[in-house]
Chain A
Amino acid sequence: MRNIFLFIRRYFTLISFVLLQIFAWAMLIKYSRTHEAIFANNANEVTGYVSGKYKTVEDYLYLKKANEELTAENARLKNMMAASFQGPDSTQQFYIDSLSKDTLGRVRKFLWLPAKVVNNDVNNEANYITLHRGRNQGVEKDMIVVGPSGIVGKVVLVSDNYARVMSLLNRFSKVSAMLKKDNYSGMVEWDGKDPRFVTLNNISKSAKVVKGDTVITSNLSEYPAGLMIGTVANITAEKASNYYTLTVKTSTNFFTLQYAYVVANLLYGEQKQLEAQTPKAQ
């Protein structure tokens, strides 16, 4: 027993070094699997608060850009409004009974919540964004984040007033996407090189893809289908396989991101629950 104590005393520094290293690696390994756990609630609040202060200053530099983006978005939404459309034919008149409208049984699937970006990285291998909206304001883990001009990422951590978002510019991020033109679907990932471009893999060579084609979220992803991701900037044909690798210019400008929407998929839980019930051996 005495020898054990002597041993510990003698190698105390080495032992504490090894223990701290093990602790750090435990966090690394656990984190990259589940994206949560050790990050305490309080720490997220503190960094979120500091980032918010910093962002109030930085915002002035990008005010013009943010205004332009929001105006463009407004214009797009106004174009979608019912008042912008008029039937060419006025001989037939439609009367919509508001009672029967309710019985159509439409269910709200997506709920959009506006949020302010308080911190945003683009230079790391794994980039994260902090939003000033958290559990108290209805944000939950795995919700989707969309910017004014395209998708941004996915919520991985939530504290009371802040949410941490895994940006599209993250080596761990994967989004199911498709070409708008002919619905070929593939995976959007980021190679860590240039924050302006992401990669779209697994597009079959039978797709007639040209530069400038629009890439949108597919209906297989947890993102609302049909959201803009970007446009094809470069096409590489993989010699060894039957697939193209496309470089996609993101429509979201991650350098000047100021506001984003958190999208709650209200039916996602039900979908996951049903999928989990699928019988395994048939």
Chain B
Amino acid sequence: MSTLLKNIIRFVLFILVQAFVLDKVPSLHQYVKPILYFLFVLWLPFNLPRFGLLVIAFVFGLSMDYFAGWPGLHAAPCVLIAYVRPFLLNILLPQESTELSYVEPSIKSLGWAPYATYVVILTFLHHTYLVLIEWTQVGDFVFFIGKVIATMAVSLLLIFVTEMLFFRKAKFRTNAA
């Protein structure tokens, strides 16, 4: 399957799963909210130009907003992590050649520890920004701190489970592709 087609399917699936499965789960507590959709941005291929990455993330966040009914709420954090992503990958990539030989960030292509760092940092940025926006409109400071911590814990758990369930074969880039 081509990378483009795969990512289009992922785009749709991540939004549907977030809007119709995770958002429908009865919440345990006000702070505990499962958020997984932004994993799409983390899984985008290496070789996208930075501008393209920003635009894709913006469109992705905006389509999430249409389902959540609060325009801008998801678009802004998605653009932020799409902007930070290339810098982070530059630091974390084990050697020069990884970017050339693998298609997208995964446990296989980055290695366990760097990939975990990559996920944790971007999740933290995304959630902090998301809850910050909610905080400016509603809520208090305890809400901000509590929700960032709680949603981060839930999201990291979900990402871990997703990585284990859908083990992505690290595809080598070949000239034929």
Question: Contacts A13-B51, A126-B69, A171-B138 given: A21-B76 contact, CB under 8 Å?
Answer: yes
Q: Which of B68, B71, B76, B139 has the most CB of A within 10 A?
A: B71
Asked if residues A121 and B23 are in contact (CB atoms below 8 Å), the reply is yes
**Residues of B in contact with A, size category:** 20 to 34
Cβ–Cβ < 8 Å partners of A28 in chain B: 70-73, 76, 133, 137
- Among candidates A17, A23, A122, residue contacting B83 with C-beta atoms closer than 8 Å: A17
User: Is A24 part of the contact surface with B, judged by Cβ < 8 Å?
Assistant: yes
Which residue from chain B places its CB closest to the CB of A32 in the assembled complex? B137
**Residue-wise interface mask of A (8-38) relative to B, using a CB-CB cutoff of 8 A (1 in contact, 0 not):** 0000110011001101111110011000001
Q: Which residues of B contact A (CB under 8 A)?
A: 16, 20, 23-27, 30, 33, 50-51, 54-55, 58, 61, 66-73, 75-76, 79-80, 83, 133-134, 137-139
Cβ–Cβ < 8 Å partners of A183 in chain B: none
Cβ–Cβ < 8 Å partners of A26 in chain B: 72
Asked if residues B66 and A44 are in contact (CB atoms below 8 Å), the reply is yes
8 pairs, A vs B, C-beta closer than 8 Å:
A21-B80, A27-B71, A47-B67, A121-B69, A125-B134, A128-B69, A193-B30, A195-B27
Which residue from chain A places its CB closest to the CB of B74 in the assembled complex? A24
Question: Contacts A28-B76, A54-B20, A192-B139 given: A123-B27 contact, CB under 8 Å?
Answer: yes
Cβ–Cβ < 8 Å partners of B69 in chain A: 121, 126-128, 164
Interface residue tally for chain A (C-beta within 8 Å): 39
User: Is A46 part of the contact surface with B, judged by Cβ < 8 Å?
Assistant: yes
- Among candidates B54, B75, B83, B139, residue contacting A125 with C-beta atoms closer than 8 Å: B139
**Residue-wise interface mask of A (30-68) relative to B, using a CB-CB cutoff of 8 A (1 in contact, 0 not):** 011000001100011011001100100000000000000
User: Is A71 part of the contact surface with B, judged by Cβ < 8 Å?
Assistant: no
User: Is A255 part of the contact surface with B, judged by Cβ < 8 Å?
Assistant: yes
Report B37 CB to chain A, min CB distance, Å: 13
**Residue-wise interface mask of A (169-184) relative to B, using a CB-CB cutoff of 8 A (1 in contact, 0 not):** 0011000000000000
Report B96 CB to chain A, min CB distance, Å: 21
Report B78 CB to chain A, min CB distance, Å: 9
Q: Which of B23, B54, B68, B138 has the most CB of A within 10 A?
A: B138
Q: Beyond A23-B75, A39-B66, list 10 extra A-B contacts (CB 8 Å).
A: A13-B50, A16-B55, A17-B54, A24-B76, A31-B70, A47-B66, A50-B16, A54-B20, A125-B138, A128-B68
